[in-house]
Amino acid sequence: LEVVEAAKDSIKKAETRLKKAKKSAVFHHSLFENFTPRQKYDAIFLVHTLEHLDNPVNVLKRAKSWLSKEGLLFIACPNANAPSRQIAVKMGLISHNS
């Protein structure tokens, strides 16, 4: 398992939890926009990531080049039109759904 993470404290927390569980992972402290892998991957998971990027299409194109010939890209994004987001707009907590 390899993880690309921009927040150093998130890496430290994950490393601590993995150590307690006697498991391990390789962490890359980087933005996706700057990350260059050393190998191709059979599976890439972008989980709640794209909505935080300035140019998600560019990152998707980059991620495609990181996949092996038969590799798969899995993406999970929150629903910008979810009722909770719509309520937050009406309450003035956020300016727009997305």
Find residue 12's DSSP bridge partners: none
Cβ pair 65, 41 in contact under 8 A? no
pLDDT tens for the chain, residues 1 to 98: 999 999 999 999 999 999 999 999 999 999 999 999 999 999 999 999 988 888 999 999 999 999 999 999 999 988 888 888 889 899 999 898 87
Opening angle at CA 81, ends 77 and 84, nearest 5? 95
